[in-house]
Amino acid sequence: MKGELGLQAVVAAAPESGQMSWATGNHLFSAYLTMGVKRGDHTYLNLLLEGKIDSERIVMFADYANLLFSYADRNILYSGIYDDQLALWATGKAAFITQGNWLDPSLPGYGATLACGILPYAFMPSDTPGATADSPSYWAVNRNSGSLQGAKLFLNELALSDEGQKTLVEDCGMISPFRSCALVPTTPIAADLYAQMKNHESYAWDWVDMPVSLAANATGAVFELFAKDAVDSERFVALMEAQIAEYTSNY
């Protein structure tokens, strides 16, 4: 139905490992680690840290990744980067994109007024409503800085003042991590994600506790080979297992 719907592709996915391994080896792979798993349960992360994977779960995940790649735009799938992926989706030429609410600030630049939201990476037969979501990074202050007190004041204002909270939520389109903030995001993807999280329908980002640069140096390349049909699902699983085992053993 692509022609009928005016679509160039069903999915905008960019697994090129040189620049996009963070999107596949971290964010997409996050589904394998935590979809359907309660926060605080690190079963599959702990296996990974031992250099192992769950064979049944990774096979289901491979089938799902293959589905995404099979319905993606081939040019972007083979060599596209983030901007290409975003443009395809934001201009209405793809129905789905494998990204997150950080897309929101870019939508006005495309004149996009899409009715959009977050869907789960639902790769298992059981229902797993909710997205994988967490804080992607943390503020830090250099204790040896000559502006230490000023930096602390800035962070306090950002977190606690009305102006700071407005900056985070309304100007930057973020979801505030602070319980003291009553502002609700209005940008489309963040608003949908916020509602899911308020309903306790989300799963942790355990990928943040994987060995540093595992995606960039090991698993990202496996996703690229899979997307380019250089390996089949069985080989994808075998390579993923081998790369994780080797990388964690040297970490």
The pLDDT of residue 214 is 98
Q: What's the predicted TM-score (pTM) here?
A: 0.92
Domain 2-135+203-249 in CATH 3.40.190.10? The answer is: yes
pLDDT over 90 at 63, yes or no: yes
Angle between helices 233-249 and 55-70 in degrees, nearest 10: 120
Per-domain residue ranges of the chain: 2-135+203-249, 148-196
Q: What is the mean pLDDT of residues 10-15?
A: 97
pLDDT over 90 at 111, yes or no: yes
Q: How confident is the model at residue 68 (pLDDT cuts 50, 70, 90)?
A: very high
Q: Are 20 and 105 in contact (CB under 8 A)?
A: no
The b/e string for 50-59 (b: 16+ C-beta within 10 A; e otherwise) is ebebeeebbb
What is the overall mean pLDDT for the chain? 95
Which DSSP helix (H) or strand (E) runs through 85?
helix 82-90
User: Whose structure tokens read 């602070």?
Assistant: 178
Query: What token pair was written down for 227?
Result: 């997307």
In the DSSP assignment, the letter for residue 167 is: I
Tens digit of pLDDT for each residue in 183-230?
A: 999 999 999 999 999 898 999 999 999 999 999 999 999 999 999 999
Sheet strands (E) in 111-187 = 131-132
The pLDDT of residue 139 is 87
